[in-house]
Structure 1
Amino acid sequence: MQAAIIKDIQLLSNPILDYIFIGITMMGSSYFYFLVLPIFYWCVDKRFGLKIGIILLSSVYVNTVVKNVTMVQRPIGYPGIRSIFTQSAGGYSFPSGHAQGTTTFWGTLMVKYNRKCINVLGIASIVLVSLSRLYLGVHWPVDIIGGILIAVLIIIIGELVDSIIVESKFDIQLAYKVILAIIVPTALIILFPYTENFEYMGLVSGILIGYFVDEKYYAFTVSNSIKKQIYKIMIGALIFLALQNGLKYILPYTNVFNIVRYLICGLWLSIGAPLTFNKLKLNKRTL
Structure 2
Amino acid sequence: MTLMNDLSWVPALRTDALTLLFTNITLLGYQVFLFLFLSFGFYFWRTQVFYQAGLLLLLTAGINLFLKDFYQDPRPDAIFALDDKTGNSYGWPSGHAQMAIVLWGWLALKVQRTWLKISLWTIAVLICMSRIYLGVHDVGDVLGGILLGALTLYVWVKLDVAGRLIAALELFGLPKLVLALLVAQVIFMGLHFGGTLDFVGSWMWGLMMGWFVGHQVDARRGVELQGHLIIRLLICAVGAAMVFGALIISGRVLGLADDTIIGDVLAPYGSGVGYGLVMSLAIPWLVRLITAGRLKREES
TM, length-normalised to structure 1: 0.86
Q: Which has the higher mean CA deviation after the structures are superposed, 81-90 or 167-176? A: 167-176
In 2 relative to 1, CA 117–67 (structure 1 residues): closer, same or farther, beyond 3 Å? Answer: same
Partner of residue 145, structure 1:
143
Q: For the Cα contact (< 8 Å) 1:6–1:140, is it kept in 2?
A: yes
For residue 27 of structure 2, what is the aligned residue in structure 1? 26
Q: Which amino acid aligns with 1:214?
A: D
2:14 is matched by which residue type in structure 1? S
1:227 equivalent among 230, 233, 243: 230
Q: Which of 105, 111, 136 matches 2:103?
A: 105
Distance 2:275 2:77 in 1: 33
Q: Does 1:261 align with 2:267?
A: no
From the superposition, tell whether residues 142 and 282 of structure 1 become closer, same or farther in structure 2 (CA, over 3 Å): farther
**For residue 60 of structure 1, what is the amino acid of its counterpart?**
A
The structure-2 alpha-carbon separation of the partners of 1:245 and 1:181, relative to structure 1 and needing over 3 Å to count, comes to same
* 1:234 Cα deviation from its structure 2 partner: 2.0
> Do structure 1's residue 276 and structure 2's residue 289 form an aligned pair?
no
Q: 1:249 to 1:134 in 2, by over 3 A?
A: closer
Is the partner of 1:188 in helix, strand or coil?
Answer: helix
Supply the distance in 2 between the matched residues of 1:183 and 1:47 (Cα, whole angstroms): 25
SS at match of 2:151: helix
- Residue 239 (structure 2) pairs with residue 236 (structure 1): yes
Contact persistence 1:221–1:284 (CA under 8 A):
no
Residues 34-77 of structure 1: per-residue CA shift (max 9 Å, x gap): 11111232122222221110011111111111111111111124
CA deviation after TM superposition for structure 1 residue 190, in Å: 3.2
- Alignment length (residue pairs): 280
Unaligned runs of 5+ in 2: 258-262, 296-300
Q: Is the 8 A contact 2:243 2:278 kept in 1?
A: yes
Q: How does 1:68-87 map to 2 (within 5 A)?
A: 68-77=69-78, 82-87=80-85
Q: Deviations over 1:127-177 (max 9, x none)?
A: 211111111111110111110000011011222122433566734434334
For 1:227, the aligned partner's letter is: I
Distance 1:90 1:232 in 2: 37
Checking the alignment, whether the CA contact within 8 Å between 2:168 and 2:177 is kept in structure 1 is no
How many Å apart are 1:109 and its aligned residue?
A: 1.1
Return the letter of the residue paired with 1:223.
L
Q: 1:249 to 1:104 in 2, by over 3 A?
A: closer
The 8 Å contact of residues 76 and 137 in structure 2, kept in 1 or not, is answered as yes
Distance 2:5 2:191 in 1: 38
Aligned-partner Cα distance in 2 for 1:52–1:188: 21
Q: Give yes or no for contact 1:220–1:284 (8 Å, CA) kept in 2.
A: no
1:65 maps onto 2:66 in alignment: yes
CA root-mean-square deviation: 2.6
Q: Is the CA contact (8 Å cut-off) linking 1:59 and 1:154 kept in structure 2? A: yes
Relative to structure 1, is the Cα distance of residues 146 and 187 closer, same or farther in structure 2, using a 3 angstrom cutoff?
same
- Within 5 Å, give how 1:128-167 maps onto structure 2: 128-159=126-157, 160=159, 161-166=161-166
Match of 2:207 in 1: 203
Secondary structure of 1:86's counterpart equals coil
Q: Distance in 2 between matches of 1:24 and 1:250?
A: 28
| AA of the residue aligned to 1:93 | G
Shift of 1:10: 2.2
Q: Quote the Cα distance in structure 1 between the aligned partners of 2:284 and 2:232.
A: 12
Q: Higher mean Cα deviation, 264-273 or 38-47?
A: 38-47
How far, CA to CA, are the matches of 1:135 and 1:9 in structure 2? 6
Output the CA distance in 2 between the equivalents of 1:21 and 1:245.
26
Structure 1 residue ranges without an equivalent (≥5) = none
CA change 1:209–1:4 in 2 (3 A) is closer
Query: Does the 8 Å contact 2:5/2:139 carry over to 1?
Result: no
Shift of 1:219: 4.3
